[in-house]
Amino acid sequence: MTEQKRQKGVCALFSWTTITTQAVHPPEVHDRQDSRIEDYTKKAVILKQIMSNKARRYQKINAAQNIATVVVSSFLLFFGFSGIDKIQKYASWISPVSIDVTELFFNLSMFLLFLIGTLHLVFRFPDKQSQSEKAVASLASLVNEISDTITTRGNLVASDEPSKIELVRTRYEAIAENIPANSDKEFIRAKRDLAKKEQRKPHLQVRPQQLFDPIQQERIVASIVLGSRTMVDVLIALRETNEGLYLGGGLVRNAVWDYLHGYASPTAVDDVDVAYFNGLDAEKRHDEDLEKKLLVRIPNVHWSVKNQARMNLVNGEAAYASLENAISRWPETATAFVVRLKPTGKLEFIAPYGFDDLLRLTVTNTPAFANRVDVIKKRIDQKKWRILWPRLRISFASDDGASTGDVSV
């Protein structure tokens, strides 16, 4: 590591410690997955919290009402069997009371029982509790369905397909029309409760000095990977299809940069890159067969499977000796790594350049692309990296080690 790079890395650490304490939404750009479908998700989550609060409130009211009914009814039954005279006698053991006071207490108990029954019939708290609980179940089902649509059973890429949006909108409106109107006070309380739940979630705690330790760097990236349902589902699908398949760095890179920017929702990827190495049979049809098998496990995902043993022909280079050798020829150091889920449940990374640049939000070329930085610049523009992750630092290194390009802060 050059002294210049280390100084830039230290500067990035200070900004990184600030970023990780924030919880913000990503920039509004077309390629973000923060789409109209996710807007309905947010609305459904808030509405679910409102109905959950109502259900708990009605549950408490029903419990209090039932206890009061049992207590008053039992007392009146005791009154009825004993009679006014005996009740007056029993009460006089504690304190002298007149027959009129005893009758008044009896009548008040009868009135209280009547009042409880009337409140039960008029306000129908049990029905309201049942309606609220059904609404919570319906909204939870909708949120889970949307989550599946944009992760495992749906798209890992941004998707605003009219048919999906219309389906989600129809379901959301159907649920919303069948539940009572909500006040602004209930909305504010729901937002506050959701914020408290978010604060109680475990967060990855990282000390700045850990970013200089390669072992800690890998642990940080592994924690982010295992904390993503999407990536875990993808890794399981790869392992069950073929244990030799690795997830390319693009999906993981996005997740790490999202985390370091404090984004609450994931950034979309154009496709899911899968890499493996088979030097004995490098025909493209094997890649296509694997894509079909993966598509069965997780439909609607744009799978891109590449046998790295034949990619040297595409790149016009000498034959690659191994998967690691092939990965070292990828464009950016922050993306030049793969990961797979081992049968033991642990992650196995192949990262020729480590995770230094990835965690420092640095985009720079690998040595193989020292004379082809224009390719990387084109990728940056096409994928809108500067807009999606404004804290990225972009710097290119030439063959002689000099740093070129620009720095975005």
User: Across residues 49-68, what is the average pLDDT?
Assistant: 92
Flag whether 57 is in a domain. yes
Q: Are residues 220 and 358 in the same domain?
A: yes
- pLDDT band with cut points at 50, 70 and 90 for residue 89: confident
The region of weakest confidence among 206-210, 275-279, 292-296, 342-346 is 206-210
pLDDT in tens, 135-184: 999 988 888 777 666 544 333 444 445 667 778 888 888 888 888 888 88
Query: What's this model's pTM, rounded to 2 decimal places?
Result: 0.60
SS (H, E, C) 21-60: CCCECCCCCCCCCCCHHHHHHHHHHHHHHHHHHHHHHHHH
Place of tokens 């009135």: 111
Whether 313 has a pLDDT exceeding 70, the answer reads yes
Instruction: Give 355's DSSP letter.
Output: T
Separation of alpha carbons 310 and 305, rounded Å: 12
Is residue 202 domain-resident? no
90 with 13, same domain: the answer is no
Q: What is the pLDDT of residue 206?
A: 58
| Pair 373, 280 in one domain | yes
Range of the domain at 354: 3-30+208-404
Mean pLDDT in residue range 301-308: 92
Split into its structural domains, the chain has a count of 2
Cα–Cα nearest to 240, from 342, 123, 131, 377: 342
Residues 16 and 64 in one domain: no
Whether residue 45 is predicted with pLDDT greater than 60 in this model: the reply is yes
Rounded Cα distance between 378 and 234, Å, is: 28
Which tops the pLDDT comparison, 154 or 96?
Answer: 96
Alpha carbon dihedral 252, 254, 256, 260, in 10-degree steps, equals 180
183, 228, 340 from 247: Cα distances, Å = 47, 14, 6
Domain shared by 309 and 161, yes or no: no
Residue 200: inside a domain, yes or no? Answer: no
Helix 36-82 to helix 162-177 angle (10° resolution) is 20
Let me know if 227 is exposed, middle or buried by CB neighbors in 10 A (0-12, 13-18, 19+).
middle
Domain boundary among 142, 160, 191: 191
CA 69 → CA 58, 109, 110, 264, 382, distances in Å?
16, 10, 11, 48, 69
Residues 24 and 54 occupy one common structural domain = no
Which residue among 130, 160, 191 closes a domain? 191
Report yes or no on 269 lying in a domain: yes
